[in-house]
């Protein structure tokens, strides 16, 4: 095994001490066991979560190794054979393995322990000094002390700290689930591989290499579960079958070789703002439909299961529009979940001259637009870039890659520089017809209903954002699902990030259900 060859001593091992020995006939289900354990230890679990949150974990920093060691040690204490994989200049990958004798299925569980950079001055409290509140700050919550062991815990409390939601909550839920199983003599129904990424917020730049290093362990995985991300915008828990890829490019159009006085030349000199406006206007109609030829012929169609799931998605359109102050959205009457299954083209920014107090009487010599592109399965950044470049050319522009020299300027009446967009992160989608995915959905549905009531689970064919799922689906060739637990208003990537305690309890229910889901579904 490669991992062994690297001296990691990593293998699929039965959990230590026989505590997770093959199951006897059990009176209690996995979720029951985990919930009972949680209810008996709420203040302790919360205290451990706070301890984990105190480890600084700013992306790109060496401080991450301490957090990795801490996670490794806690996983080992919970009975999981766990090692650090380390590459020079990279954060360690924490890899833990639970081999279950007789199990015919292996779940890969992905969590990341690094967090977004913080600017403490915009936080109410120190980002790495977790602070408990009796409700969300916006709802008038007040800071309270962490409860002593045995004291009751209100599920509406929130704990504020960097990574409370993104993505330490899953770690804080995995550990008590594993301990509850050990205590009850319960064994998971699948082999488990835990992978804690220390570079997610840094673009998971070494994850591919780490995954190759651990391929002997990872090759056996049947489905990857991403314990990351927030609940659906409706507030309901969700499972997600795909993410969009992302790329960006920049378009610069040119007027005269220098800024010109708008009095002396206005009405005669090319008006770069208008030239860019006319180009951008040609790319998208008033309803938000992308007018770039071929744009909607580039990707894989969705299947019947996805269409059915779309129909079953909660109708949050009106509420979301009200929240965002919108009467009209792009592509109406299509809904947000439907729109997220299409490749998107957006203007991320425009700069030309100045506005406001800085506006001067000039005709700016350039106008620049930054385009954001979101891809769905079947798209590549290069392919969409080609379509956009062809579109720009059809609008009469000579397309260049560098600022034009005088000779080029004097040859072409319209010149556009296009930069970027050649590479991007890749979209991913797992078929809802996949039998492993169906088992996971069933287990998540049960956990969500137990925690939040009947019909609580949202099953989303795809989300709009971007995660490195393609490393799992396209590179490693496995199905992969996102199984989030954080509250939708957890302020991830922002100041005052937080986790609602009820969502931590849901995570415990959910993970217990996933680790003990019946094998009979497939």
Report the site for its own copies in 271-290 (rule: CB under 8 A): 271-274, 276-281, 283-284, 286, 288
Nearer to its own copies, 152 or 413 (CB): 413
Nearer to its own copies, 2 or 289 (CB): 289
Compute the distance between CA of residue 269 and CA of residue 261 in angstroms, rounded to an integer.
Answer: 9
Q: Which residue in the set 28, 122, 361, 519 belongs to the binding site for its own copies (CB under 8 A)?
A: 361
Q: Which burial class, exposed, middle or buried, applies to 235 when counting CB atoms under 10 A from its CB (0-12, 13-18, 19+)?
A: middle
Compute the distance between CA of residue 163 and CA of residue 94 in angstroms, rounded to an integer.
Answer: 17
Nearer to its own copies, 97 or 340 (CB): 340
Nearer to its own copies, 183 or 330 (CB): 330
Q: How far is the CB of 408 from its own copies (least distance, A)?
A: 9
Q: Which residue in the set 159, 369, 432, 485 belongs to the binding site for its own copies (CB under 8 A)?
A: 369
Nearest to 65 by CA among 53, 57, 73: 57
- Does the protein bind its own copies through residue 374 (CB under 8 A)? yes
Q: How far is the CB of 337 from its own copies (least distance, A)?
A: 9
Q: Which of residues 444-503 bind its own copies (CB under 8 A)?
A: 463-466
Q: Write the DSSP assignment of 151-192 as a string of letters.
A: ----TT-EEESTTTTTTSHHHHHHHHHHHHHHHHT---SSEE
Compute the distance between CA of residue 114 and CA of residue 108 in angstroms, rounded to an integer.
Answer: 19
* Long-range contact set of residues 501-504: C-beta below 8 Å, sequence gap at least 24: 501/46, 501/153, 501/154, 501/155, 501/156, 501/157, 501/158, 501/159, 502/155, 502/156, 502/451, 503/169, 503/231, 504/45, 504/46, 504/49, 504/169, 504/172, 504/173
Q: Which of residues 66-125 bind its own copies (CB under 8 A)?
A: none
Number of amino acids touching its own copies (CB under 8 A): 87
CA dihedral of 158, 161, 167, 171, whole degrees rounded to 10: -80
Q: How far is the CB of 26 from its own copies (least distance, A)?
A: 41
Residue 395 and residue 279 in contact, taking contact as beta carbons nearer than 8 Å: yes
- Does the protein bind its own copies through residue 412 (CB under 8 A)? yes
Q: Which stretch binds its own copies (CB under 8 A): 36-44, 240-248, 384-392, 431-439?
A: 240-248
Q: Which residue in the set 65, 236, 339, 450 belongs to the binding site for its own copies (CB under 8 A)?
A: 339
Q: Which residue in the set 215, 234, 298, 370 belongs to the binding site for its own copies (CB under 8 A)?
A: 370
Q: Which residue in the set 155, 266, 294, 455 belongs to the binding site for its own copies (CB under 8 A)?
A: 266
Q: Which residue in the set 63, 154, 305, 330 belongs to the binding site for its own copies (CB under 8 A)?
A: 330
Nearer to its own copies, 368 or 399 (CB): 368
Nearest to 326 by CA among 311, 339, 316, 312: 316
Nearer to its own copies, 48 or 330 (CB): 330
């Amino acid at each position: 095994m490669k991992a062994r060859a690297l001296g990691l001593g990593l293998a699929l091992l039965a959990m230590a001490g026989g505590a997770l020995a093959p199951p006897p006939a059990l009176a209690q289900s996995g979720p029951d066991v985990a919930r009972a354990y949680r209810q008996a230890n709420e203040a302790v679990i919360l205290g451990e979560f706070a301890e984990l949150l105190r480890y600084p974990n700013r992306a790109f920093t060496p401080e991450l190794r301490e957090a990795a060691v801490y996670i490794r040690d806690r996983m080992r204490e919970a009975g999981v054979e766990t090692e650090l994989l380390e590459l020079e200049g990279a954060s360690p990958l924490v890899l833990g393995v639970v081999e279950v004798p007789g199990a015919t299925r292996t779940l890969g569980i992905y969590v990341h322990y690094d967090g977004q950079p913080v600017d403490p001055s915009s936080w109410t409290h120190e980002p790495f000094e977790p602070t408990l509140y009796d409700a969300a700050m916006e709802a008038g919550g007040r800071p309270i002390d962490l409860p002593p062991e045995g004291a009751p815990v209100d599920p509406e409390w929130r704990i504020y700290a960097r990574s409370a939601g993104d993505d330490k909550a899953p770690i804080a839920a995995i550990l008590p689930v594993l301990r509850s199983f050990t205590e009850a003599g319960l064994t998971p129904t699948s082999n488990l591989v835990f992978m804690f990424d220390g570079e997610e917020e840094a673009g998971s730049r070494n994850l591919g290499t780490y995954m190759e290093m651990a391929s002997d362990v990872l090759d056996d995985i049947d489905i990857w579960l991403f314990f990351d991300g927030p609940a659906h915008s409706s507030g309901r828990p969700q499972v997600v079958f795909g993410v969009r890829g992302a790329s960006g490019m920049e378009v610069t159009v040119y007027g005269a070789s220098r800024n010109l006085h708008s009095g002396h030349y206005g009405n005669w000199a090319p008006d770069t703002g208008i030239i860019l406006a006319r180009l951008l206007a040609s790319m998208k109609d008033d309803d938000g439909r992308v007018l770039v030829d071929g744009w909607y012929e580039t990707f894989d169609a969705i299947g019947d299961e996805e269409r059915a799931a779309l129909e079953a998605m909660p109708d949050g359109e009106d509420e979301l529009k009200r929240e965002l102050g919108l009467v009209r959205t792009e592509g109406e009457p299509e809904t947000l979940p439907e729109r997220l299954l299409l490749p998107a083209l957006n203007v991320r920014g425009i700069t030309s001259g100045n506005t406001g107090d800085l506006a001067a009487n000039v005709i700016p010599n350039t106008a620049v637009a930054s385009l954001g592109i979101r891809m769905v399965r079947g798209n590549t950044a290069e392919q969409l870039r080609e379509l956009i470049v062809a579109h720009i050319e059809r609008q009469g522009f000579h397309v260049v890659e560098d600022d034009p020299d005088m000779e080029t300027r004097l040859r072409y009446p319209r010149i556009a520089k296009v930069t970027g967009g050649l590479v991007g992160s890749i979209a991913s989608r797992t078929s809802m017809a996949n039998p492993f995915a169906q088992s996971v959905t069933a287990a998540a549905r049960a956990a969500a209903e137990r925690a939040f009531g009947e019909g609580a689970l949202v099953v989303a064919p795809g989300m709009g954002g971007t995660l490195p799922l393609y490393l799992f689906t396209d590179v490693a060739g496995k199905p992969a699902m996102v199984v989030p637990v954080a509250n939708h208003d957890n302020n991830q990537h922002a100041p005052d990030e937080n986790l609602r305690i009820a969502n931590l309890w849901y995570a415990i229910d959910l993970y217990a259900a996933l680790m003990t889901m019946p094998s009979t579904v497939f």
